[in-house]
């Protein structure tokens, strides 16, 4: 019952904020090839039932994209020495018990050797940590709240602070071990510095594809993938000159 209530709370707010009725949501999901009845959506929202099975999980990931639930958003601020990435995702238990989600960061050679700080926002708590300074590798294990039965899902969100200057960050990527239905990666740039030569890429067993992407009017880069096979996709960029130094 605790898991159902937690899932319902996580779903209610985005639905209310979308200004969409359950009927409209059902129609939009059907248009995306993910049919679901209004009654089932109502049961999920009220906590009477949880998504389970391959079809329900596919519907849920499409629902996340529709309601802007599942995404990774980075904020790169040239006025700060700490950069932040926020994550929100749905995980499914492969077996009954406590669900554990690893979060691992491998620092580049030119990055300060300082462990990223992970802050849980919803759905989990911080478990064991990894500190492998020789390999510049740090990580934590997120323990999903409560006990899940095999096939059940939970919504998690967290923030990761990286102790870096903005110009030390030249990419953002997402690696997926299994086929994913909908994934969104977004990077917002704040401060006077702006990136140049921005591109998006995807890397799978079939190879790597690259295409240019432009900064939008909000100062953001965004990448959305549907039915992405196991692999890595991301955004990368080069930095333009410091305007203040250029004027001097």
Q: What is the pLDDT of residue 48?
A: 86
pTM over 0.95: no
Q: Is 170 exposed, middle or buried (0-12, 13-18, 19+ CB in 10 A)?
A: middle
Q: What is the pLDDT of residue 51?
A: 78
C-alpha to C-alpha distance for 206 and 224, rounded to whole angstroms: 19
pLDDT tens for the chain, 248 residues long, are 545 666 777 677 667 756 678 998 899 888 878 889 999 999 888 888 877 777 777 787 677 667 655 578 899 999 999 999 998 877 778 889 999 998 888 888 888 899 999 999 988 999 999 999 899 999 999 999 988 888 777 778 899 999 999 999 999 988 777 666 567 788 999 999 999 899 999 888 888 999 999 999 889 998 877 666 788 889 999 997 776 555 55
The token pair at 32 is: 């995306």
C-alpha to C-alpha distance for 185 and 192, rounded to whole angstroms: 22
Residue 127: which H helix or E strand, with range?
strand 124-132
Total residues found in the chain within this entry: 248
Q: Distance from CA of residue 213 to its chain's centroid?
A: 19
Nearest Cα residue to 3 out of 182, 127, 126, 150:
150
E-only strand ranges, the chain: 71-77, 83-92, 100-106, 117-122, 124-132, 137-144, 153-162, 171-176, 180-190, 195-204, 207-212, 220-228, 231-239
C-alpha to C-alpha distance for 107 and 91, rounded to whole angstroms: 25
Q: What is the pLDDT of residue 2?
A: 45
């Amino acid at each position: 019952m605790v898991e159902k209530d937690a899932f319902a709370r996580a779903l209610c707010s985005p639905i209310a904020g979308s200004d969409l009725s359950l009927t409209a949501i059902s129609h939009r999901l059907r248009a995306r090839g993910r049919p679901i009845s209004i009654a089932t959506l109502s049961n999920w929202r009220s906590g009477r039932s949880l998504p389970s099975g391959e079809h329900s999980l596919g519907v849920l990931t499409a629902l996340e994209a529709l309601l802007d639930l599942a995404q990774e958003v980075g904020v790169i601020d040239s006025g700060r020495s700490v950069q932040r990435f926020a994550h929100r995702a749905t995980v499914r238990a492969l077996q009954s018990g406590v669900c554990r989600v690893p979060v691992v960061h491998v620092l580049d050679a030119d990055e300060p050797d300082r462990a990223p700080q992970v802050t849980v926002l919803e759905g989990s708590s911080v478990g064991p940590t990894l500190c492998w300074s020789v390999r510049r590798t740090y990580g934590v294990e997120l323990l999903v709240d409560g006990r899940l039965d095999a096939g059940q899902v939970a919504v998690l969100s967290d923030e990761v602070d990286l102790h870096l200057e903005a110009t030390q960050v030249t990419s953002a990527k997402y690696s997926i071990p299994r086929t994913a239905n909908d994934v969104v990666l977004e990077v917002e740039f704040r401060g006077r510095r702006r990136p140049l030569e921005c591109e998006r890429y995807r890397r799978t067993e079939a190879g790597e594809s690259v295409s240019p992407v432009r900064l939008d009017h909000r100062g953001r880069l965004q990448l959305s993938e549907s039915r992405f096979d196991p692999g890595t996709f991301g955004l990368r960029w080069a930095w333009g000159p410091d305007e203040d130094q250029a004027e001097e």
